[in-house]
Amino acid sequence: MRFLNLYMPFGILEVKTVFQYNAWFWVEMLRSIIAMLIMTAFWKAIYADQSSIEGLTLTVTLNYVILARALGNANASSVFWWVASHISKGELELQLLRPVDFQLMHLFRDATGWAMNLVRSMPALLIAILFFEAKLPSDPLAYLAFLITFVLGGIVLFFLEFMFGCLGFYTTEVWGLGILREGIALFFSGALIPLNLMPEAIRAFASLTPFAQALYVPISFLSGVQSPSQLGNAILTQVCSIIVLGVLSRMLFTRAARVLTVQGG
């Protein structure tokens, strides 16, 4: 109870922040619809002369990419840009003085944001089903697999994003780093193409990245690319990633906090 009383205000703050920027909801909705249109035309052209690629039919591939556009950003982390913003404003030292664990505070904020984003993604999901023929699984275990890997994948990505944010302690300017990170994430997360369709070496590497753990893995269960019987291996990989990245991020934060220089002094 003490833990909840201590960290619940940060979750409530995240809820208020989400509702404060309603314009972004409509912008994201429009962007998702445009992306669905483009992806549908693109993959239909790719599959024009063949019934399947690497074992995936056009129906399964379209289902994956459309669901990825509708739900793919729901468990994204905001900690990188949050840290960058407060470094540039010279306010980060005040946040570090709070009588709470800095990393855990942001994990609680992000987790609240995931729940909010998942609910706000429902209109985009409904559009995907009604107008783009997206199909949800009939097996209840597929939904359970999606939810479990969705949460675990979000935690994996959080720790990586937190580590990127810690690099801002050294540079005080992370805009370029953020753009580079987003470009890498777009490719390795499976947001543009199912990892199954990548060359073997690239697929093996990409499947282990936090970006894929946060997007490809949960969406693959929901779209039928993976069956619920593969949930055990997915959970094992995600839990191992959480342990490794959690330890590394804590070590990096401890060192980086000692050398923090904020803009303006």
**Cα–Cα distance for residue pair 114/108, rounded to 1 Å:** 10
What's this model's pTM, rounded to 2 decimal places?
0.86
The contacts of residue 109 (CB under 8 Å, 6+ apart) are: 10, 11, 13, 14, 78, 79, 82
Residue where the block lists tokens 């107008």? 131
The contacts of residue 52 (CB under 8 Å, 6+ apart) are: 58
* Helix H or strand E segment including 37: helix 22-46
Q: Is residue 263 part of a domain?
A: no
**Cα–Cα distance for residue pair 81/168, rounded to 1 Å:** 10
CB-count exposure of residue 58 (10 Å: 0-12, 13-18, 19+): middle
Residue where the block lists tokens 């894929």? 212
**Cα–Cα distance for residue pair 175/181, rounded to 1 Å:** 10
**Cα–Cα distance for residue pair 46/100, rounded to 1 Å:** 52
DSSP state of 261: -
Q: Is residue 262 part of a domain?
A: no
Q: Is residue 264 part of a domain?
A: no
Domain that holds residue 248: 2-256
Q: Half-sphere exposure of 106 toward its Cβ, with a 13 Å CA cutoff?
A: 27
Q: Half-sphere exposure of 111 toward its Cβ, with a 13 Å CA cutoff?
A: 17
pLDDT for position 217: 95
**Cα–Cα distance for residue pair 257/84, rounded to 1 Å:** 14
Residue 56's DSSP bridge partners are 53
Residue where the block lists tokens 């306010």? 91
pLDDT for position 265: 46
Positive or negative, the CA dihedral 211, 214, 217, 219 is negative
pLDDT for position 89: 65
**Cα–Cα distance for residue pair 100/163, rounded to 1 Å:** 19
**Rounded to 10 degrees, what is the CA torsion of 166, 170, 172, 174?**
-60
The total number of structural domains in the chain stands at 1
pLDDT for position 156: 96
pLDDT for position 77: 83
pLDDT in tens, the chain (265 residues): 555 566 666 556 666 666 666 677 778 888 888 989 999 999 999 898 888 888 888 899 999 999 998 888 888 888 888 877 776 666 666 666 677 788 888 888 888 888 888 888 899 999 999 998 889 999 999 999 999 999 999 999 999 999 888 887 777 666 777 788 888 888 899 988 889 888 889 999 999 899 999 999 999 999 989 999 999 999 999 999 999 999 999 998 888 777 665 554 4
Query: C-alpha angle 84/208/110, rounded to 5°?
Result: 35
Closest CA to 181 of 43, 68, 60, 83: 83
Q: Is residue 173 part of a domain?
A: yes
pLDDT for position 11: 59
pLDDT for position 18: 60
pLDDT for position 91: 67
